[in-house]
Chain A
Amino acid sequence: MLKVRTAAGRLAVEGNACRRGLSYAQEEVLNPRRVLTTTVPVVGGKRPVVPVRSVAPIPKESIPQALSELRQLFVRAPVKVHQVIAQSVAGTGIAVVATWPVLAIEAEEEVQREKEAG
């Protein structure tokens, strides 16, 4: 178990098994960040949504803002892995990219789908 004590504005970390644990503990207390992952709708794709991620962790409190920005978006198929979906979310300067490829459906398939959807 990780233990973090704060004294006189400094952090003392105990119980970390490696250096990653040390930096994780410091980050988690001072500036908690998370990698944001969600899905974005795809138009004309073999799948209706594509999974996306922020390329780096973003501040925890920016997550709601980032999610609501991503909710406004859609992408057109084909989508490639690591294609940029948004240049920057929630004013962080951190980009959001696709994490899985989505192939485009053939033109006739698309017509068929639209018909079925009414």
Chain B
Amino acid sequence: MVVIGGGPAGLAAAHAATEAGARVTLLDRHPELGGVLPQCIHPGFGLKLYKEELTGPEYAWRWIAQLGEVQVFVETMVFAIEPGLRVWASSAEQGVLAIDCRALVLAMGCRERTRGMLGIAGTRPAGIMTAGTAQRLVNIYGLMPGKRVAILGSGDIGMIMARRLAWEGAQVVGVFEIMPYLCGLRRNYVQCLLDCGIPLHLSHTVIRVNGAKRLSSITVAPVDERLRPQAARAFEVEADTLLLSVGLIPENELTLAIGAELDPATRGPVVTSRMETSVPGVFAAGNVVHVHDLADDVSIAGQTAGQWAAAYACGGSSPGGKRLRIRPDANVRAVVPQLLVLPDVLEQGASLLLRAGCHHEGPCSLELVDAEKEQVLASKELPYARPAEMIHWWIPPRAARHLDRASQLLARIRVGR
């Protein structure tokens, strides 16, 4: 079996698969395992799995230390996968590698959206980078990206970097968020922005960057309720550095290359409750499937993928059974897994992760509806719906029995009673 990517998803998949009796090779292009975690030096990891507050590096280290009998190649980049499952990779030390495998786990993580994807007008000065790049510069290379920093987007990485740079002596002039609400976790707003006195400007965006060689200022404008910038009310903010924390996208090159079906909502592959993609024998977990809030959830998904991939590698094919599709409907942006393997779900229950498509501070109800009969088959009360916080829904086997009647399900959030 091959696992591509040595972040929390890949580490958990490799570990679980080895425990289940598979022979596993783990490949990562970085010199160190851990994925993005070694650069996430702040605490907030492991509360769910270990009931203690670990930093990113410590959390990754636990998984690396218990990895077991896994063959690991670091500084090894996978560049192609052939059907029949031959994985092509290259490294300075090994040259070009061709590895044949029976099952594969995709765990390549995600990528940050860049300036190019936002189309911000202006010059092309140095000093504009993603928040994750700044995180890598400061925490791994010990380099400061600038002295006067503005942050576009209220994602978690941006807020965490706001505090990190403030602590290192930079002046952080503000976080600008186009939406009327916070996009990251509330905890980070309190502990990173409020603690350091960094202002958050909701319903504001950067419409222009200025400066010849180095960024000298940004032009900020408030937006109306349809998110259109109000140029007449624009103002200039002096800054030599602009960090972008405006969203993550699953790393999809290899997923697309093997022909796995993508979900336009998550922008990652469609997966079953076994974390299997539409290509038999190819499994996926972590941020490559959809962007998670917590590394703990990534590890849990990795374990599921690893166990089922090992079963596939040892047994040859996935046992059959009815697969039930779930599609996002009113007020739901995305659901993972997109397909429930019914025999499993009836026996073990189902664990769904959902993103709300609406922001509602107040009770609402999450429902699974039979798509044809418009009948509610399962429901859960929520205290609120926030796009920034992933919704976890555990459906026990007893409740899952009702799902059997449907041929397709819709996931909705009903606001108000």
* Interface residues, chain A, with chain B CB atoms under 8 Å away: 1, 34-35, 37-39, 41, 47-49, 51, 53, 60, 63, 67, 81, 99-101
Contact check: which of B38, B43, B57, B142 meets A48 at CB < 8 Å? B142
A53/B43 in contact, CB under 8 A = yes
- Cα distance A49–B168 when bound, in Å? 14
A81/B58 in contact, CB under 8 A = yes
- Cα distance A32–B93 when bound, in Å? 50
Contact check: which of B38, B55, B139, B164 meets A53 at CB < 8 Å? B55
A51/B41 in contact, CB under 8 A = yes
A51/B57 in contact, CB under 8 A = yes
B43/A38 in contact, CB under 8 A = no
Q: Report the nearest B residue to A15, measured CB to CB.
A: B383
A49 touching B167 in the complex, CB below 8 Å, given contacts A34-B195, A39-B41, A100-B38: no
Q: Report the nearest B residue to A47, measured CB to CB.
A: B140
Residues of A within 8 A of B167 (CB): 38, 63, 67
A49/B58 in contact, CB under 8 A = no
- Cα distance A63–B167 when bound, in Å? 9
B139/A99 in contact, CB under 8 A = no
Q: How far is the CB of B187 from chain A (nearest CB, A)?
A: 10
Contact check: which of B53, B142, B191, B384 meets A39 at CB < 8 Å? B142
A-B residue pairs in contact (CB < 8 Å), sample of 19: A1-B361, A34-B195, A37-B41, A37-B42, A38-B41, A38-B167, A38-B168, A39-B139, A41-B142, A47-B140, A51-B57, A51-B139, A53-B43, A67-B167, A81-B57, A81-B61, A99-B57, A100-B57, A101-B61
Residues of B within 8 A of A81 (CB): 57-58, 61
Contact check: which of A1, A34, A67, A99 meets B41 at CB < 8 Å? A99
Residues of B within 8 A of A39 (CB): 41, 138-139, 142
Contact check: which of A35, A60, A63 meets B43 at CB < 8 Å? A35
A51 touching B55 in the complex, CB below 8 Å, given contacts A38-B167, A39-B139: yes
Contact check: which of B55, B61, B361 meets A37 at CB < 8 Å? B55
Q: Interface residues of A: mostly helix, strand, loop or mixed? A: mixed
Contact with A along B43-84 (1 / 0, CB 8 A): 100000000010101100100000000000000000000000
A100 touching B61 in the complex, CB below 8 Å, given contacts A37-B42, A51-B41, A53-B43: yes
Among A34, A37, A38, find the residue whose CB has the most chain B CB atoms closer than 10 A. Answer: A37
Q: How far is the CB of A68 from chain B (nearest CB, A)?
A: 10
Residues of B within 8 A of A47 (CB): 140
Q: How far is the CB of A16 from chain B (nearest CB, A)?
A: 12
Q: Report the nearest B residue to A67, measured CB to CB.
A: B167
Q: How far is the CB of A96 from chain B (nearest CB, A)?
A: 12
Q: How far is the CB of B33 from chain A (nearest CB, A)?
A: 11
Q: How far is the CB of A104 from chain B (nearest CB, A)?
A: 15
A99 touching B55 in the complex, CB below 8 Å, given contacts A37-B43, A38-B41, A53-B43: yes
B53/A35 in contact, CB under 8 A = yes
Residues of B within 8 A of A48 (CB): 141-142
Q: Report the nearest A residue to B143, measured CB to CB.
A: A48
Given contacts A37-B41, A60-B195, A100-B57, could you give 11 more A-B pairs where the C-beta distance is less than 8 Å?
A: A1-B361, A34-B191, A37-B42, A38-B41, A49-B142, A51-B41, A51-B57, A51-B139, A99-B55, A100-B38, A100-B61
- Cα distance A60–B55 when bound, in Å? 18
Q: How far is the CB of B410 from chain A (nearest CB, A)?
A: 28
Contact with A along B12-46 (1 / 0, CB 8 A): 00000000000000000000000000100111000
Q: Report the nearest A residue to B187, measured CB to CB.
A: A24
Contact with A along B340-374 (1 / 0, CB 8 A): 00000000000000000000010000000000000
- Cα distance A76–B311 when bound, in Å? 46
Residues of A within 8 A of B58 (CB): 53, 81, 99-100
- Cα distance A67–B38 when bound, in Å? 20
Residues of A within 8 A of B168 (CB): 38
- Cα distance A51–B38 when bound, in Å? 8
Residues of B within 8 A of A35 (CB): 43, 53, 55
Q: How far is the CB of B278 from chain A (nearest CB, A)?
A: 37
Residues of B within 8 A of A51 (CB): 38, 41, 55, 57, 139
Residues of B within 8 A of A49 (CB): 139-142
Q: Report the nearest B residue to A99, measured CB to CB.
A: B57
